[in-house]
């Protein structure tokens, strides 16, 4: 319309628009649940996303890596001992040239095959051993998660939900267990049993759930007296239903965050024990024991320590950054 017709707007043209109350109270736009909100915050966190990508790559390589060259973890051949890393397409990079101190070791030893991470003093392929070792670290991560969820959540849940005498007894026990440092627990366990993956597993199962139990208990104490629990109980829900349908889902954010922080701890402890010779035994390899083996050769063949060292550092850094990201996502109040 033109400006002229605008001038013809008269008072009678204005009529009140009647909107029913139900319409006006309607919320336009999609409802965003707490979970969707957390997911959105997590996805926009660049550091956490990058960590997730790196972790995925490491996990894939740990699964595929040991099978690429068809070597076994204990395939020894002294004629190819202590070869530096060499990758065909990347020989222009000094790290993967197959040269050591200016000498082409591959030519010297007359070896045509490439060893991507080099070989150790027994001629074992370090690429295969490193990724096998990464598998161990990932298994430990899985075990720590299970311990947290199966023992920590249940212990803390029972203690916090039932309260009273049960809570008092469980908390006193927890206090004594937590009063003894995990290092002491683990060493006592290793003394009784033989060092190895099973012992480390038991040691981590025994010690990693403590902080989770405390946190879940705190959440339970906070949540159990809230109205929605009372409502559920009024409707006849039993203890089991209230715990598993109401209390645990509501504390799931805290549980996930805490798991993400106990995983790097467990990975570190396994590597630490293997490094001081209490963990995985030869010919099995874990990242810690590989670093220990390579460490003896650090001055002559630094590459033998380098790659396991890089991978375990990446694993720990990525888990920690992801943990930070999840904490910010689930509990933006904590973000500072």
Partner 1 sequence: MIRYILKRVGYMIVTFYVVITLTFLAMKMLPGTPFKFANRLSPEQLNQLKHYYGLDQPIPIQYLHYLWNFIHGNLGGSFQYGMQPVTEFLFQRFPISLQLGFESMIFGTVLGIFLGIVSGIYRGRFLDWGTVTLAVVFISIPSFIFAAILQYFFSVQIRIFPVIGWSGPMTHVLPVVSIGVGVMATIARFMRTEMVEVLNQDYIVTAQAKGLSTNAVIFRHAIRNAMIPIVTVIGPLTSAVVTGSLVIENIFAIPGIGSQFVDAIVTNDYPMIMGTTELYAGLFIVTILIVDVLYGVIDPRIRVSGGKSI
User: Which stretches of the chain bind partner 1, using CB under 8 A?
Assistant: 175-176, 179-184, 187-188, 190-192, 214, 218, 264, 268, 271-272, 275-278, 291, 295, 298-299, 302, 305, 309, 312-313, 316-317, 319-321, 324, 336
Between residues 38 and 287, which has the closer beta carbon with respect to partner 1? 287
Q: What is d(CA 253, CA 271) in angstroms, rounded to the nearest whole number?
A: 28
Q: How many residues does the chain have?
A: 336
Helix/strand/coil for 17: coil
Q: What is d(CA 85, CA 101) in angstroms, rounded to the nearest whole number?
A: 13
Between residues 122 and 295, which has the closer beta carbon with respect to partner 1? 295
- Neighbour count for residue 229 (Cβ, 10 Å): 18
Secondary structure of 143-172 in HEC code, one letter for each residue: HHHHHHHHHHHHHHHHHHHHCHHHHHHHHH
Between residues 63 and 187, which has the closer beta carbon with respect to partner 1? 187
Cis peptide before 28 (omega within 30 of 0): no
**C-beta of 61: minimal distance to partner 1 in Å?**
19
**C-beta of 184: minimal distance to partner 1 in Å?**
5
**C-beta of 326: minimal distance to partner 1 in Å?**
14
DSSP state of 125: B
Between residues 113 and 172, which has the closer beta carbon with respect to partner 1? 172
Please name every residue paired with 125 in a beta bridge, in sequence order, or none if there are none: 119
Q: What is d(CA 162, CA 100) in angstroms, rounded to the nearest whole number?
A: 65
Between residues 242 and 254, which has the closer beta carbon with respect to partner 1? 254
**C-beta of 141: minimal distance to partner 1 in Å?**
14
Q: What is d(CA 207, CA 111) in angstroms, rounded to the nearest whole number?
A: 48
Query: Which element (helix H / strand E) includes 100?
Result: strand 99-100
**C-beta of 18: minimal distance to partner 1 in Å?**
48
Query: Which element (helix H / strand E) includes 47?
Result: helix 46-64
**C-beta of 160: minimal distance to partner 1 in Å?**
14
Distances (CA, A) of 250 to 2, 35, 219, 284: 59, 11, 9, 42
**C-beta of 312: minimal distance to partner 1 in Å?**
7
**C-beta of 286: minimal distance to partner 1 in Å?**
13
Which one, of 65, 67, 59, lies nearest residue 130 by Cα?
A: 65
**C-beta of 211: minimal distance to partner 1 in Å?**
10
Between residues 216 and 242, which has the closer beta carbon with respect to partner 1? 216
Tokens of 267: 């990975």
Between residues 75 and 195, which has the closer beta carbon with respect to partner 1? 195
Tokens of 324: 């930070």
Between residues 96 and 307, which has the closer beta carbon with respect to partner 1? 307
Between residues 237 and 317, which has the closer beta carbon with respect to partner 1? 317
Query: Which element (helix H / strand E) includes 173?
Result: helix 164-179
């Amino acid at each position: 319309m033109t400006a002229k017709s605008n001038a013809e707007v008269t008072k009678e043209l204005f009529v009140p628009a009647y909107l029913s109350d139900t319409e006006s109270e309607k919320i336009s736009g999609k409802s965003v649940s707490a979970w969707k909100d957390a997911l959105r915050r997590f996805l926009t966190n660049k550091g956490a996303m990058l960590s997730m990508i790196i972790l995925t790559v490491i996990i894939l390589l740990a699964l595929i890596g040991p099978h690429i060259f068809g070597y076994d973890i204990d395939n020894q051949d002294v004629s190819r001992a202590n070869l530096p890393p060499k990758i065909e397409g990347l020989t222009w990079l000094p790290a993967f040239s197959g040269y050591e101190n200016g000498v082409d070791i591959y030519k010297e030893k007359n070896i045509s095959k490439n060893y991507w991470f080099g070989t150790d003093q027994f001629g074992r392929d370090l690429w295969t051993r490193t990724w096998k070792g990464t598998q161990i670290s990932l298994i430990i991560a899985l075990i720590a998660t299970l311990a947290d969820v199966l023992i920590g959540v249940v212990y803390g849940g029972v203690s916090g939900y039932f309260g009273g005498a049960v809570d008092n007894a469980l908390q006193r026990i927890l206090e004594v267990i937590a009063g003894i440092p995990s290092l002491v627990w683990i060493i006592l366990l290793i003394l009784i049993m033989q060092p190895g993956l099973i012992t480390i597993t038991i040691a981590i199962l025994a010690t990693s759930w403590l902080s989770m139990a405390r946190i879940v208990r705190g959440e339970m104490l906070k949540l159990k007296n809230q109205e929605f629990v009372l409502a559920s109980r009024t409707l006849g829900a039993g203890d089991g239903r209230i715990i598993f349908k109401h209390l645990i889902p509501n504390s799931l954010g805290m549980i996930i965050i805490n798991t993400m922080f106990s995983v790097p701890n467990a990975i570190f402890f396994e590597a630490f024990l293997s490094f001081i010779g209490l963990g995985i035994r030869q010919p099995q390899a874990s990242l810690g024991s590989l670093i220990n083996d390579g460490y003896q050769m650090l001055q002559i063949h630094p590459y033998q320590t380098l790659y396991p060292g890089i991978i375990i550092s990446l694993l720990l850094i990525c888990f920690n950054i992801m943990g930070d990201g999840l904490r910010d996502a689930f509990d933006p109040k904590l973000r500072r």
